[in-house]
Amino acid sequence: MSKLDQVLILDPPSDLRFKGPFTDVVTTNLKLKNPSERRVCFKVKTTAPRRYCVRPNSGVIDAGAMVSISVMLQPFDYDPNEKSKHKFMVQTIFAPPNVSDMDSLWKDAKPDDLMDSKLRCVFELPSENDKVNDVDAAKAAPVMNSMKPEPTAAAVPVAASLDDTESKKVLEKCKRLQSEMNKLTEENRQLKEDGIRMRKMPRSDHMTSNSTSLLGREASTASLPSLLVVIAAIFIGFFLGKFIL
């Protein structure tokens, strides 16, 4: 009885290509598709098991389904003059109706029931064009980052300068109002002292009329600073409230 042809469709069909540099783990993918109407068991083998990690390395593929296998090449010192002799083999068998022990299935399988496909490992170094493109991309990244605007950083000093200007204006107005209030208080005090001196002088009709007019001016003048104090307090509260908000 002749050997059965492979039922699975492999992608890639014959070569597993690994692209360097090989200073780190290099991974390539192998796809197994089951076009049949039966479940198929598979197992992946290699001639260099210490150099590769295969996930998954065995399993069952349902009818019409596909499985992707990751083949990871471990880091090594690559010699371009040395040809790769590593090979992989995908071994398959139709799954029985009730399969539970995969080890027993493969151990008891008849050679005529097994199907297999062999793949060759190919190592490739990056081309010069790929290296140039990688270098250009690395150089372009800092330039693009430097061109990005920074609106937040630029807006902060402007806002700070505006706040400083407003605060200076408010403080200057407060100082002027305080100075005017001090002047009015001093004038009020002097008028009161003049009124007291006028009361102590000898009474006469002429002095009485002068005293009456003087006291009238004193009363009106005394009420003026109180009004200005209220107005000044309102202005100070308005400017301080605007500055704080």
Q: Domain limits of the chain?
A: 9-98+107-124
Distance CA 214, CA 201 (A): 13
Q: What phi and psi values does residue 19 have, to the nearest 5 degrees?
A: -105, 120
For residue 121, what pLDDT is reported? 95
Answer yes or no: are the C-beta atoms of 102 and 41 closer than 8 Å. Answer: yes
Query: What per-residue confidence (pLDDT) applies to 133?
Result: 56
| Predicted pLDDT of residue 119 | 97
Beginning with the edge strand found earlier in the chain, give each strand of the sheet holding 66-73 in spatial order.
9-11, 26-33, 66-73, 52-55
Per-residue pLDDT tens digits for 38-65:
999 999 999 999 999 999 999 999 999 9
pLDDT at 149: 54
The pLDDT value given to residue 160: 47
CATH superfamily of 9-98+107-124: Immunoglobulins (2.60.40.10)
The pair of three-digit structure tokens given for residue 124, joined into one six-digit string: 């490739």
| Beta bridge mates, 12 | none
Residues of the chain with pLDDT under 50: 132, 135, 143, 153-156, 158-160, 162, 204-208, 214-215
* CA–CA dist 23, 147 (Å, integer): 34
Looking at residue 131, its pLDDT comes to 54
First to last CA, the chain: 95
Please give the pLDDT value at position 5.
93
